[in-house]
Amino acid sequence: MILALAAQAAGAEGPAVPAHPARVVSINLCTDQLAMLLAAPGQLVSVTWLAGDPAFSAMADHAGAYLANGGRAEEVFALHPDLVLADIWSPPDTVSMLTRLGIPVVQFPPGESMADIRANIIRMGEVLGTADRAAAMAAAFDARLAGLVRLAPPPGARPRAATWAANAYASGPRSLTGAILDAAGFANVAGELGIEYGGTLPLEALVWAQPDIVITAESAPGASRAEDVLRHPALAGLRVEAGLADADWTCGTPFVLDAVARLAAFRAKPGP
């Protein structure tokens, strides 16, 4: 109730983003990781609890240095930030509440291509006032990506790959996973079957398509019926590699190049 009244008093116009924010809070897993990579010492105060989960975060080992938050406006407000980092899918009510309380919020689009990732690196550096650090990171990203792409075969000579995750989910060429496949030198079977972004790829369609390789997600601890499809006997006649790790490809960060390198190694390895 107190927060709601304060928000009303603050007005609807968003506050200005400081040129050099001193207390930054991130409420999104992807901005968590970019901020941890680019923030100046002591500048980043808090990241989401997901940043510490190695199943989803490529920087789980670093997240313990920051306070964990659940992305709620009340707890973020209590941290007294002068800047909050979010993505465009962050809860609108949370973003609205924070801005009406006088806290600037910068929202980042998801990185769905290599160009998007580079753009978000540069923008994060601008927002945090660490543009030089961001420029150096973007240059290193460009150089490593170029080296990986240089080793990939031309489009007409690429092996055909399908990604297949829990609930028979496949990623198309216009997704981040699709961009990773492309950079690693594969043709995307999901795109052949009309899946542009992502969606269900029935087992029958997967087997009928006869991809050169099926790249599955790594199984999570415990048992899940959603992952039963990854162990279906019908896959026995296909080459299957467990190479999708959520920590590498959930967010558009420089760590996607680790996934590109891993998949490129599958491409170079002789099949069974």
The two structure tokens encoding residue 56: 């989803």
pLDDT range class, residue 21, cuts 50, 70, 90: very high
Whether 2-142 shares its CATH topology with 153-268 is answered yes
Separation CA 226–CA 147 (nearest Å) = 36
Does the pLDDT at position 272 exceed 90? no
The pLDDT value recorded for residue 187 is 96
Tens of pLDDT, residues 38-84: 999 999 999 999 999 998 999 999 999 999 999 999 999 999 999 99
Q: How far apart are CA 118 and CA 106, in angstroms?
A: 17
Q: 3-state secondary structure string, the chain?
A: CHHHHHHHHHCCCCCCCCCCCCCEEECCHHHHHHHHHHCCCCCEEEEEHHHHCCCCCCCHHHHCCCEEECCCHHHHHHCCCCEEEEECCCCHHHHHHHHHCCCCEEEECCCCCHHHHHHHHHHHHHHHCCHHHHHHHHHHHHHHHHHHHHCCCCHHHCCEEEEEEHHHEEECCCCHHHHHHHHCCCEEHHHHCCCCCEEECCHHHHHHHCCCEEEEECCCCCCCHHHHHHHCHHHHHCCEEEEECHHHHCCCCCCHHHHHHHHHHHHHCCCC
Pair of tokens at residue 182: 């492309």
Note whether 104 and 14 are within 8 A (CB). Answer: yes
Contact 254, 117 (CB under 8 A): yes
- pLDDT for the residue 167: 87
Write down the pLDDT at residue 223. 56
Q: Please report the pLDDT score of residue 8 as a whole number.
A: 37
Domain ranges of the chain: 2-142, 153-268
133/217: higher pLDDT:
133
pLDDT class of 271 with cuts at 50, 70, 90: low
Q: Would you place residue 1 in the very low, low, confident or very high pLDDT band (cuts 50, 70, 90)?
A: very low
Q: How does residue 3 score in pLDDT terms, banded at 50, 70 and 90? A: very low
**pLDDT value for 81:** 97
Token digits of residue 178: 């699709």
Q: Residue 7: its pLDDT value, please? A: 36
Q: Token pair for residue 94? A: 């949370």
Domain 153-268 fold is Rossmann fold (3.40.50)
| Full-model pTM | 0.89
- Residue 261 structure tokens: 């390198």
- With a cut of 90, say whether residue 146 has pLDDT above it: yes
Residue 195 burial (CB count, 10 A): 23
Residues 139, 85: Cα–Cα separation, whole Å: 23
The percentage of the chain sitting over the pLDDT mark of 90, rounded to a whole number, equals: 74
Q: Which CATH class is domain 2-142?
A: alpha beta
pLDDT-derived band at 5, boundaries 50, 70, 90 = very low
Report the C-alpha gap between 190 and 200 in whole angstroms. Answer: 10
